[in-house]
Chain A
């Protein structure tokens, strides 16, 4: 091996070490919310940015809110409003839906321990 090879190896190792430090520190909360509507549209919302999204459904508009890294269905034209009462979603994999208005709100799972939850 020549000197240049060693240099490459050293630089590469340093670079890898830095990448571990950068990408592996810190918690992994969910970073993205996915909204699906009955007509097949998918909206991606970044949880780092506060936002309000209105999505249409057969009954009217459902209002989705993102705030402080969490998301929720703030209002929906359904009768029971279970989706609204559920409140804020804050961990990866969590899902809530307004079935009558055909809207699904899901937080992208960081680590998913289960393939399905039975209840």
Chain B
């Protein structure tokens, strides 16, 4: 038949192929879904289409569940809680709400109250509490002042086991400022439980990524707040979230002025010193809350708040188009065009 050396080569090849027949490379699977009230783009690496499908369906249903549970006024856990809080009496909280209340209370304190989910009434007054955008006009100043005066805070909530009550009748919880971050964190947790190590979950432009995109890091583009193009890019890997709060996401215009959804709890009006804030951090919930708080803080105070909340990589674009970066962000970010103004480096206290 065949000679000695040829046979040896053949046998070795056969053995090697036997050994490697078990190897399979995970493939990337992508899907765009409408969930959580927004467009969610998921790319994940799975061993098989079956595993990918299972993961994607899980993500879709989890986000749907969270959206319903945390909706501030539609019938659901949070809707019910918001009806009961003004009574001032003790009642049992929906169990899935307690962790989110606890984490947001901590973040609210760290942000000196600039991130404040207890101002649900103010948010509803402006009309930003639902999926549809309000058409205007802006609410009457005396109603705004009244709500601001009552100063609802997360600290007004008392928790005893699974029971909760509010000592301030003005408290209504609206987690819109950090629900996406919190939701994305839960989704990533579940993916990791399923054994998926490389994925990116982008919920309406805010995202968390784990692992890498095959042989390279995940490349995230950051949109220019003033236009459609990409202003800068970040390479993320390991376990990182990128969240941006901007004045262009949800807003209405009235009489030539733009009113957006990021309300300053101290004034009751949309914060207007800053165009957008981008935060890079491991946790989506922290990044989301910080992006909101720093936006409200404005171009002078944001470094102090960032330090208080424990976020290190921040980019702030102020209302005049000036760009400020923390040193940690300056190391990571890459601007796509030469024409962007020289960014200012602001170290954290």
Contacts and interface: CB of A to CB of B under 8 A. Distances in A.
A117 B32 contact: no
B21 to A, nearest CB: 32
A104 interface: yes
A108 to B, nearest CB: 12
B222 interface: yes
Nearest to A40: B33
B43 interface: yes
Nearest to B206: A118
Contacts of A106: 32
Given A95-B39, A100-B132, A113-B221, A118 B32 contact: no
Contacts of A119: 205, 222-223, 225, 244, 246, 248-249
A51 interface: no
Contact of A115 (B131, B132, B200, B230): B200
Interface residues of B, number: 34
Nearest to B218: A115
Contacts of B131: 99-100
B39 A99 contact: yes
B290 interface: no
Interface in A49-100: 79-80, 95, 97, 99-100
Interface in B202-226: 202, 205-207, 209, 213, 218-223, 225
Given A116-B202, A117-B223, A118-B278, A80 B213 contact: no
B234 to A, nearest CB: 8
Nearest to B234: A118
Nearest to B34: A102
Interface in A32-60: 36, 38
B130 to A, nearest CB: 11
A116 B241 CA distance: 12
A80 B234 CA distance: 32
B133 A116 contact: no
Given A36-B32, A79-B132, A100-B132, A117 B38 contact: no
Contact of B230 (A100, A104, A114): A114
Which of A79, A99, A114, A117 has the most chain B CB within a 10 Å cutoff? A117
Contacts of B222: 117-119
B272 interface: no
A118 B242 contact: yes
B167 interface: no
Contacts of B37: 99
Nearest to A82: B133
Q: How large is the interface on A (under 10, 10 to 19, 20 to 34, 35 or more residues)?
A: 10 to 19
| Residue among A95, A114, A115 with max Cβ neighbours from chain B (10 Å) | A115
Contact of B32 (A95, A100, A113, A114): A95
Contacts of B62: none
Nearest to B280: A118
A117 B43 contact: no
Most buried by B among A38, A113, A117, A118: A118
Nearest to A102: B34
Nearest to A106: B32
Interface in B234-289: 234, 242-244, 246, 248-249, 278
B213 to A, nearest CB: 6
A102 B33 CA distance: 9
Contacts of A36: 32
B207 A116 contact: yes
Given A38-B34, A100-B132, A115 B246 contact: no
Contacts of B278: 118
Nearest to A99: B34
B244 A116 contact: no
Nearest to B201: A116
B233 interface: yes
Given A80-B132, A97-B34, A99-B38, A116 B249 contact: no
Contacts of B202: 116-118
A7 B65 CA distance: 66
Contacts of A97: 34, 39
Given A116-B220, A118-B202, A118-B223, 6 more contacts: A95-B39, A106-B32, A114-B219, A114-B230, A115-B219, A116-B202
Interface of A: 36, 38, 79-80, 95, 97, 99-100, 102, 104, 106, 113-119
